[in-house]
Every structure is written in C-alpha cells, then in structure tokens.
Structure 1
Amino acid sequence: MGFNEKIRGNAIVESDVIIGVLDTGIWHESESFKDEGFGPAPKKWKGTCKGGQNFTCNNKLIGARFYSSSDSAKDVIGHGTHTASTAVGNLVKDVSFYGLAQGTARGGVPSDRFAAYSVCTADRCKSYDILAAFDDAIADGVDIITVSLGASSAIPIAHDPIAIGSYHAIQKGILTTNAAGNNGPIGGTVSSVAPWMLTVAASSIDRGIIDKVVLGNGRTLVGNSVNSFTSNETGFPIVEGKDVRNKRYTEVQAGHCEDLCIDNDAVKGKIVLCDELTGTVEARRAGAIGTVLKNNILAFEGVSEVLPLPAITLRDEEYNVVKSYMNSTKDPRANILRSEIIKDDFAPMVASFSSRGLNKFLPEIIKPDISALGIDILAAYSPVAPITKSAEDKRCVRYTLLSGTSMACPHAAGAAAYVKEMHPDWSPTAIKSSLMTTAWPMNNTSNFPGEYAYGSRHINPLKAIDPGLIYEASKEDYINFLCMVFDEADVRLISGLNWNCPTSFDKGSPKDHNYPSLASVVTPTIPFNISFHRTVKNVRLSNSTYKAKILPNSEVDIKVVPKVLSFNSLNEEKTFDVTIVGKALQVGSYVSSSLIWSDGTHNVRSPILIST
C-alpha cells in the first residue's frame, strides 16, 4: 500500500479520530490496544465502556458494548480483534505466526482511538443487534465505522441492516466500510451493494506464503498452507484416505477424509492424501503425521490457510503427480516442509474468493468500490480462540494469519481514517471519492470485467489525501437516490423520514447519482446512446485547470463536455456530461474504459463500465 512506518498523519487531530468496529468483540488485553502515550478520550466522545465482567477500556480502546447475541464484549472468536488491530492497532515489534511473516504489526492509524461493538457470536449476527450498534456508534461520536460482516449474497437494501445502519451513519457524517463478501469468483455475488458504503474487495499482498512436499523420488511440489511445524525426518509413509478407511464408511468418503472415516490405527505415523480441502480436520483427529490436500475449489486459489498439522494444498495437476508417484513404488514416502515466505511480484491481484459484481439490485453502481489487502494478513488475535477448525488443535496465539474481505475492509477503514486526519472537515463522500479516484493499478488475469472484481482498483492512502477533485453527494442526494429506486414506503423505512418522493417522471436515473464511477446496463443486441451527469469539487489549488482524457476503446465513442474544467477558487464546483455511443452488445458482454481529469499533477480517475 506504500504506507510504511515513517508515514505520519495530522498530529493536531490524529488522536481525535475514532473508529467504530462492529464485529465479534475485542481482546482488550492485546498489546495492539495498549494506551501508553495516549491522553484522555476526545471531548466529542459520548460513549461508554460496557464490555461486561472483567472487561476494561483505556485511552486507546475508549468504548465497548455488547448486545443480545453475546454476554460480553470480550472476543472469544478472534475475528473482531483481528479486524480492529488491522484498522487501528499500535506498532508492535517482532510479531509473527510461529516465526512466519515476522515483522512489526501496525494498524492503518495506530495513533487513533476506537470503540468495539460486539454484535456477533461464532454462528450468528442478529439484524437488530447490528442496527442497535449502528445507533450507538453514531450517538457515541465515532468518525468511521468498519463492518467486516454481511449476508452470503446480496439482499434487498430495505431488508439489509448494514445498509440501513450505514445510511443513518452517512446522514450524520460517518463513512462505513463494508466487506464485499467471500463468494467469488462467481459474478453477481457481491453482498454490499448500497452506494453510501465503501465496499471493499480483497487483494493479494506482496508477501506470499508457500509450502513444499518432497516425494521419495526427489520430486518437490509447491503448494499452499501455513505450516509452522518442522520435521527432522527424511520421509514418512504416504497413503490415500480410501486405503486407511474405517470400514463403516465408503472409499469415496474416506478418500475425501470426511469426519470419522479414517481408521486411527491404520494412519498413525503416516501422511494421508485427502481429495477435499476439509480433510485436514479428520486427518488431525485420526492421528496422521501430515496430510496432502487436493484444492479443487477455485475460490481458495493462492490462499494459505493455517492448518492443524503439517499439511499442503495442491492443485489438481500437482496432486495427481503425488498419486502417480505412489502408484509407481511399493514404499511411497514424502515429507512436508515448514512454510516459506516469498515475494509475490504479481500483487496486487484480486483474491479468487472475493465476491464480484454485477450489483444485483443497483447495476448502475459499480460494486465493489475498491480493493485492499485481504490474503494472509497477520494481525492481533484472541488467545482463547481456536486457530483452526480442528478440536484437537490446542495452540493459542496472540497474532495469526487470516484471509477474507473481512481483512480487506479494516485496511480501507484505516485509510479512510488517515484521510479524515488530514482533512477533518471533509464529508464521508469526499473521503470515499478520494480513495476511489486515486487508487493503484491492479493486475487482472481473467476475462471477467476487472471493475466487477475490484471497482476503482487498489487503495492508495498517500495519494488519497491529495485527490485534486472529489465527487461529493449531499444528504438530499441520497434521499433522491432512494426515491429513484424504491417506493415511498421503503424510502421512509430506510431513511426514518416522512419523505414525499417526486412523481415517477421526475425521479431521474441511478446512473446520474454523483458517484466516482460510471456504469450503466443496456439492452442486448440494440445500439445504445447513454449520458452521465457529474459534478466535481476542487479541493487543491484555488486556480487550476483540468483536462479530460478517455482511455480509448474501439467498441464505443465516448465524449466529455466540456473537455476542460477551470477553477478559480478552492471548493468551487463544476459540472460535466459524459456521452457514450456504441453498437449492439451481445448478451453477457461488456465495454470498459476510464475517464481521467488531469491538471498535470493530479489524475482523477473514474472507471466506466457498460454491460448487458
């Protein structure tokens, strides 16, 4: 992210910025949340510390609450501690996971404060708890809310507690960052679709974690896992799950290493091959010395999961190499090596598991909005929380590696808080716009529209504090937007206002909402002519001139009117129109481009996406 330890914020206001974390609670005793060097909580803070028995706050963790889902704000799951420390954790030196990924752990804004709202248990997050937490966070005086939660797929906004809660937050000047979801790489899976939230996809970090298995014939295969175990042996017997099955189960079940399907005595001291990623739990229970897992789930491509025993996940091709070797000898042996850290030159790339657009309910709004780091993220953890899914794995850690859009979301929250430090008077939409229009390029290796995977690309905090121009939306703009897409009853339900929407012919189109990206859906096989109306505000020099540049695309003709925007004062606003004319698109196809406003120093980029 280009955001190293030497970066400093606005020393005058940085400790006054407060992040609200809606999650599974917090392990308040973590080093990441100590308050050494912090003064009293900001005067604007109106919250309280109601974390339950034996729970204390301090001048860093200034507030805590829990709701009906739990009986304490103390995090026994680990998820909330991990996300909070990613957003706002202190600098903690010499952190690692059993020596892997060693370095200094640091949240995006280590000098800021935070409050924890425990709204989830291990198996549920109740809608009314989430809404209550939003109400409390707004009343308590937080500046940014981060929510690494969400439904498994998009639900109507009027039924989505995170969408409704974040709407009320933005009406009070608070930006909410929300995880995009972990149901990729299938299209149309993004669950966070409301335009007033910053929806965050997960991308790779340039530190990769790999594992190796050395076969008895000397062949070495590279795969993925976080294997912290060290073996001094040269090799162990290796068997297939079906060959060490409990006779009460089928060969297929044992081949997958399903629960209780492996015979304990038959597998002891051996490495077992499992045809499913979930087989590691059964292998550990049965007492195997290690396991080789077949990764046939595209969503887990490139992800190294913490596993409860020496293990490695291999793609089909490499997995079949192991099987071929086993068939070639009477005494197959292998050794699984401790994981290694490598440099990933292809980062940032969107994670396979990261949920993609199209936005099911609002296709004129590109979601996700942006990408942030979400693979193999090392951050604080609850020492009473399990680190794997195996009941036999009794290890306890204070820092661990996790992957998910849940890990990407607090990276974006930290970046948003940094922008808030530097510009305390900026609105939530100004902060959101600055993050979206200044993003880094991404590596895209699929035929899928990149904008559906990562929105405006990869987050760049340093650039975001000086975007040049911003796309801003007012409270009235969001009310009008609600009127465009909902009936009046739902508008009143979501907004809490007794609002009268315009008649149908006055409503306008969601594509003309003043969003930092431009998208529209067109009818297949029919030529199209689409126009967008936008307004930008000058937030840099009082006298500045920006020229429009369109990245060329032979399939469409894109015109910007006017092509030049000249500003004479700070915070001056200018409007422009973008017209896109194209030939008929086939079903399932799309056209993408970009609009860049440049003054020679700033490049204010908005993605353009037309799809059927």
Structure 2
Amino acid sequence: MCSKLLFFLVITGFVTSSATDDVYMPYIVHMDTSAMPATFSTHEHWYESLVSSIGSSRGKPPRLLYVYRHVIKGFSAMLSGSHLQQLQAMPAHLATHPDSYGTLHTTRTPSFLGLNKQTGLWPAGKFGNDTIIGIIDTGIWPESKSFDDKGMPPVPERWRGACETGVEFNTSNCNRKLIGARSFSKGLKERGMNISEIYDYDSPRDFMGHGTHTASTAAGSPVCGADYFGYAKGTAVGMAPMARVAMYKVLWATDTFESAATDVLAGMDQAIEDGVDLMSLSLGFPQTPFFDNVIALGAFAATEQGIFVSCSAGNSGPHAYTIFNGAPWITTVGASTLDRGYAASATLRREGNDTTEVLGLSFYPESILIFDDPVYYGKGNTTKEICSSNSLDASEVAGKILFCSYSNKSDAFTQMDEANRTSAKAVILVTDFGPFFRPSDFYFPAVALGLKDGEIVKDFMTKIVNTTVDIKFQITFSDQKPAPQVVYFSSRGPYRITPGLLKPDVVAPGVNVLAAWMPNREAAVAGSDYLVSDYRLLSGTSMSSPHVVGVAALLRAVHPGWSVAAIRSALMTTAYTTDNTHGPILDMTTGVAGNPLDYGSGHIDPNKAMDPGLIYDLSVQDYIDFVCSLNYTQEQVRIITRRSNYTCTTSNFDINYPSFMVILYNNVSTQTFKRVLTNVQDSPAVYHAVVEAPIGMNVTVEPQALSFGPKGSTQAFTLRVEVDLGGMRPESNYIGNYGHLSWIDKEQKHVVRSPIVSAFAP
C-alpha cells in the first residue's frame, strides 16, 4: 500500500433574544411551514414575501440569504433589530437565532486498522464503490493525486450535485472521484469578512489544507511514493478508496479564520439535497441544546434521510465534560495514536571506537550529513548542561552537536532555541515531552531522547572529553508500543448536554496521519526556510472523523440495507479496548489505563464491524422520543424535528443505544435500562450474557440468554446497574466505575460488547 491535521472549529453559541437595536446582521429563522398560505407554491416564495413585507424606517432593507430545504424549516436573512421584532410578531414564526462565528477546531492507518486488499472489509465492500461521502470543511485541492479518478466507473445516476465555478475553480476540476464541489460564504461575507485571493479562494478550492486532508483520509485514491519529507514513505490511501467525494466548503481563511453558522447549515442542507450517503464534519459548535446547534439540527435531518453522519469529538481534552457533537444521531469520534513512530538515530563515539547508539524522536524535514561531528556538552556546569536560555557561548558551540541534559527548569523548546541561537549544527536533548511533540516543532535539527536513553548518553559522555556523533534523520518504524493510546487533546465525556448518553462513541487514528496537502502551502519549516509538500502529517480529532466515515462507507457497501444506527452499533460493539502489548488502552496524559469516558466503546475494528452478529437499532421516532425527554418546549422540539405535528410515543431518554451510562447525583445510584437486539446473521442464533463489573458495581441482566430466529428477528432484555456510593468522590475525570456487558453466541464467533459506566454529575 502507498500512504498525510489538527483543526476543530469552535463557534460561539447561539443567543435567543428579541433584539431592540438596529444592528444589521444575519439570523437563522425557524418557521411553522404548516402556516404557509395556499397562495404560495413553494416555501421559498413564501419566505421571500415575508422578508420583503417587513418595513424599514431607516437603514438597509431586510434580505434573504439561504432557504433551507432539509436541515431546518426556515431560512437565514440579514435583519436589523426592528426587522426582527416585526418577524417575531408573525404567527408563523417559531424562533430566531443570530448567526455565530468561530475559528478552526491525519498513512499507515489502513494497515493499522486491519484493512487488507485480499480479505476482509476492503474487498467485501468493494473499497467503498459508488458510496458518496460529503465532506463539510475548508474546500479541496482537486489536482491532488489523491483525487485521481483512474479506474473509477461513471458517476452514479442518482447523484444530483454540481461542481461550481469560482476563483481558480471550474467544472473541469471535478471528475469521477471528486463528483461535486460547492462553497458557502454568504453569512461570512455579510459580516464584512474579506474573502479574496489574499486570504482565501472565493470558490471550493482549499486555501487552508484541512478539507483536502480530511477528504483524502476518508476516500483518497491510492498514491504511491507519498511521504512527509522522507518520513512515512509508502502509499497514501483513504479508508474507502473507491468512494466518491463531494466537498462543501463552509470554513474560510479570512483575516480572523472564521465560519458562519448560516453557511455551515447551508452546506449540510445542500449535501442532503445532492444525495450524499454519508457526511463527515471535523468541526463543531459549543455545547448548547440541540435546538441551538446547527450541526445537531443538520445531522438530525440527514439521519432521517438515511445519511450516516460522523463528527469529531473535539480537541479540548483531557478534562471531563469537554465533548462536542454529542447528539445520539451523530457518531462522535475521539482521537487515538498509531503504532508508527518517527525518529533520528544518534551514534556516539569516543576514543578507542567505543560507541553507543540511541534512537530518539524527530521530525526534522531535511536530510543533513552529520558524521563524526564533535559534541559540545557543558559538563560540570549545570547551567550549560541544561542549555537554558542565553546560557551558552556561541563561539564554543557553533558548528558542533549540542547535548542538553534533562531539566524541569529548561524545556525542550528553550533548548532547541538555544541551539539555534548559538549556531549549533544540531542538538540532542533529553525530555519527558516526547509523545506531545508535533512535526512542526522540529524546525531545527534535533533528536529528542527519553529520560532513560538520555542518562545513557550523559554517562557515556561524562567519562571522555572528546566525543563525536553520527546522526541520521528521516527514520520511520511501525512497531511503536503501546498503541493505540487515547491522545491528550481528545475531548472526553460525559457529554454536558445529555450526560446520560455515553460519548464519544469510539476512537480512531488521529495523530500524525499522512494525507493530501496543497503544494503551494507551507508544510514544514527548516530554519528560516518554508518547505512545501503534497502530503502532510497532522493530528486532531479532525483526522479521526474521516477515518470513521470512510469505514462506514465500506460497511454501507457491504450492508446497503443497514440503518445509520446499525452502522454505528456495529462500529461500537466490535471496538477493542486493548493495545498492541495486550494491556488496556492507555490515556496518554496520565500513562494509566483509560476508560470509556476517554474512548467510548473503544477503538474501531473495521473487519469485525462487518460481521457484528447483533445490532442495537434505532428509528427516527426513537430520536424524537429522546428529544421529548429533554424538557424542551414544544417549539424547541419542532425546531429539531421540523414537524408541526410530531408525536412523542413516549418520553424516553433511555433509547436503544449500544452503551449504558449511569449518572451519579443526589444519592441516585441505580438505573434500569431496556434494550432490543436485532440478529443480522444469516441464520438463527443463541447468545448468552457475560458481565464484567468492578467491585462496587452490581449488574444484573434479564434474561441471561437470548434466542434469535432468522435474520432480522429481535429480542429484548433488561439491564439493572446498582453502584455503591460508599466512600466515592468525584475525581478530576468524574468517573465512578465501569464494566462491560457482552452477548456471546454459542460458537463464540460473535462478541457484542457494550460499556457500562457510572460517572458523577458535573
């Protein structure tokens, strides 16, 4: 196989208020469409009439921006405070929210995930053939080889999308791989943002790189010989390399790097209209109620149309209650590490050819010759040993290899800066920061050693004055242990809006992922030189979501009749929680075992997800019943469901989700869950329950065995959790206890596993 971010859009929250001033700004308006007079043939004509009928004593007239056909019942418009008051007085008006703005929120991954050309999910799913993935992001660089359509069949006839023209973009930029590209910027422009060639392309073309990277991660065509300046050499390929890509550009590199909620909503609305099968958003809004969150609103409408929606969980970890995009109809994805590492080797030599060799972390993007070069080490002088700021004499250090001892008073970045200031040829530094380095940190030739190897080198050099070293950069290895780990920045549960629903759902690769980049945009820095590349290593939950949406495309190709909930359930119940040392998945921040608030059900396992045995299914009505349980007003429920005559069959917060969450508060420590499992095997089967529960958590399951008929048959069960609160106190991560429920068939071929978690209320 041939085989390159860290962005997460955070946007300020909606405010619902009756404006009294005459500030002219964009608003999102929710309408009761059942009140549309019969004289209007379309909602659009009705909205145009309503907006034009609003009087204006002074200033600019009201103006329609977008009409939303799927994500909400309503439109967005430029309104003043007096316009808004008139609109709110109309009987058909439900709610209005001012537009919101914000700033921004990465291949060995196919093999790490077990995807193989000969067996498993890849060939079974025909590599995602003819599935259409909508990417809501910063645009796309269509010339990238990752979007080459060689060998792809004609575009599916069901596709209703288009390839729009704009600055340095036209219809010829689309092909059988990139089948659609649109951009949405009305809301941003109305705020006076300058979208031009100086800051961005006023078109679907990507200026920032984020959208190109995420799109190629999800569905990039195989590209041999890809690398990041000599690191990660191989074939770059997306999770679903035969899937189609449709880009919806909603995020812009203006002078303040912002996006408008009106534009995000318009992009999702258009993706539904165009006929995408799946949608990925590596961006998010603050943790506001679902009726205030445009991604939650758009994803609900998409789910209703059978469109799978994957979203990044956010980069606000490692603290509890930091999850974004936690609605139950969204698959929420956290970030984990890979088993691939990047390094430089240092071979130290002293008199008599006595040598020692160590391997240290490095991403330095150039191959420079360091052979038998002298090492400078200020032994005997603590200040010089640790290379603190301005501690060294450039006349002593220039042209040599600087060695810096570990110190909690001089961090690795200070030491690298000191090496640069004194014109050292390279630096070998000792640090405990290793896992947290990013490729962009290595602007100077540096080898970062861990504490143990640092002591070996220090001891080696202490005994002999004249030490020399050979350094080789651009080393990649694929057996890094332990892996995966939950990365420090990945947002953690519980989800503040609905803490009784465990989020994230799963984790997926999100650290140093190699994916497509733009050849005219900085990819690395070496000294004072800015380097460019077609592929780049980047990190973030932004990278995790496209991994999951790509795997979901493969599952949809294998099981075209599966619902959105079935796909998510298969991913969750087959996820694993052990690393490549056979120990528990670790939390990178603490170095100890993680828990479901960190990784949800676990790390995705695509091949197992193809054959989960049983699934927890959900219908749109289940989601409506869930919303009905949230103490929202009738109007707020109507905003989410887009129905004037919605029905709550029951007010049920305990929906048929593949995880179990008990929130501990006011001495409440017991909860009963009701679930229904569906057989997705081709034959009848019998499953029995196996519970793993820690001391202090008592779990009972009734019945203990489930006998399923043919494919599609269902069985219900009840799970009761009792938590002993004696001596328990909320800790920094808020977790109380956790265990697992597994349903295992007689042949032990299928293990349908769900986490059971107790956590303290915030």
Helix, strand or coil at the partner of 1:16: coil
1:431 aligns with 2:543: no
Residue identity in the other structure for 1:340: I
Contact 1:209 1:340 in 2 (8 A): yes
**CA distance 1:292–1:388, shift in 2 (3 Å):** farther
**CA distance 1:331–1:104, shift in 2 (3 Å):** same
In the alignment, what sits opposite 2:118? Answer: 6
Contact 2:376 2:397 in 1 (8 A): no
In the alignment, what sits opposite 2:314? Answer: 181
Shift of 1:263: 12
Of 491, 495, 498, which aligns to 2:641?
495
Contact 1:188 1:359 in 2 (8 A): yes
Q: Summarize deviations over 1:148-201 as a string: whole Å, max 9, x none.
A: 2235x6444443332222222112111111112223333332223222111112
Separation in structure 2 between the aligned mates of residue 161 and residue 527 of structure 1, nearest angstrom: 33
Shift of 1:234: 3.0
Of 25, 28, 33, which aligns to 2:139?
25
Contact 1:226 1:304 in 2 (8 A): yes
Counting aligned pairs with the same residue, the percent is: 36
Residue identity in the other structure for 1:227: Y
Unaligned runs of 5+ in 2: 1-112, 189-199, 405-409, 580-584
Deviation larger for 35-44 or 321-330: 321-330
1:134 aligns with 2:251: no
Deviation larger for 89-98 or 336-345: 336-345
Of 717, 725, 730, which aligns to 1:584?
725
Separation in structure 1 between the aligned mates of residue 414 and residue 677 of structure 2, nearest angstrom: 50
1:234 aligns with 2:372: yes
Of 600, 603, 607, which aligns to 2:751?
603
Residue identity in the other structure for 1:89: G
In the alignment, what sits opposite 1:517? Answer: 659
Of 687, 706, 720, which aligns to 1:546?
687
Count of matched residue pairs: 592
**CA distance 1:327–1:200, shift in 2 (3 Å):** same
Shift of 1:214: 5.9
Residue identity in the other structure for 2:757: L
Residue correspondence of structure 1 range 103-182 to structure 2 within 5 A = 103-122=234-253, 123-151=257-285, 154-182=287-315
1:355 aligns with 2:355: no
Separation in structure 1 between the aligned mates of residue 433 and residue 288 of structure 2, nearest angstrom: 25
Q: Summarize deviations over 1:543-571 as a string: whole Å, max 9, x none.
A: 22211111243322211111122222321
Helix, strand or coil at the partner of 1:201: strand
Residue identity in the other structure for 1:35: D
Residue correspondence of structure 1 range 153-552 to structure 2 within 5 A = 154-212=287-345, 222-228=359-365, 229-235=367-373, 269=399, 275=411, 277=413, 289-290=425-426, 300-301=435-436, 307-313=442-448, 337-342=472-477, 343-388=479-524, 392-443=528-579, 444-445=585-586, 446-447=591-592, 449-488=594-633, 489-498=635-644, 507-508=651-652, 510=653, 512-523=654-665, 526=667, 528-552=669-693
In the alignment, what sits opposite 2:219? Answer: 88
Separation in structure 2 between the aligned mates of residue 381 and residue 413 of structure 1, nearest angstrom: 20
Separation in structure 2 between the aligned mates of residue 139 and residue 417 of structure 1, nearest angstrom: 19
**CA distance 1:25–1:545, shift in 2 (3 Å):** same
**CA distance 1:413–1:281, shift in 2 (3 Å):** farther
Separation in structure 2 between the aligned mates of residue 201 and residue 281 of structure 1, nearest angstrom: 33
In the alignment, what sits opposite 2:73? Answer: none
Separation in structure 2 between the aligned mates of residue 326 and residue 65 of structure 1, nearest angstrom: 60
Q: Summarize deviations over 1:434-472 as a string: whole Å, max 9, x none.
A: 111111333323556510111111111111121111111
Deviation larger for 416-425 or 42-51: 42-51
In the alignment, what sits opposite 2:49? Answer: none
Shift of 1:338: 0.5
Separation in structure 2 between the aligned mates of residue 178 and residue 284 of structure 1, nearest angstrom: 40
Shift of 1:19: 0.5
Unaligned runs of 5+ in 1: 244-250
Separation in structure 2 between the aligned mates of residue 278 and residue 87 of structure 1, nearest angstrom: 37
Contact 1:281 1:308 in 2 (8 A): no
Shift of 1:399: 1.6
In the alignment, what sits opposite 2:74? Answer: none
Task: Say what the alpha-carbon RMSD is for the aligned residues.
Answer: 3.6
Shift of 1:289: 4.2
Residue identity in the other structure for 1:2: G
* TM-score, normalised via structure 1 length: 0.86
Q: Summarize deviations over 1:22-56 as a string: whole Å, max 9, x none.
A: 12211111111111122221111111001523431
**CA distance 1:483–1:276, shift in 2 (3 Å):** farther
Deviation larger for 554-563 or 9-18: 9-18
Q: Summarize deviations over 1:287-313 as a string: whole Å, max 9, x none.
A: 764456776769x53765573332244
Deviation larger for 100-109 or 229-238: 229-238
Separation in structure 1 between the aligned mates of residue 289 and residue 159 of structure 2, nearest angstrom: 33
Helix, strand or coil at the partner of 1:534: strand
Separation in structure 1 between the aligned mates of residue 415 and residue 248 of structure 2, nearest angstrom: 35
Helix, strand or coil at the partner of 1:200: strand
Separation in structure 1 between the aligned mates of residue 250 and residue 527 of structure 2, nearest angstrom: 25
Q: Summarize deviations over 1:191-227 as a string: whole Å, max 9, x none.
A: 2322211111222222222334567877766442312
In the alignment, what sits opposite 1:246? Answer: none
Separation in structure 2 between the aligned mates of residue 24 and residue 278 of structure 1, nearest angstrom: 34
Residue identity in the other structure for 1:385: R
Helix, strand or coil at the partner of 1:80: helix
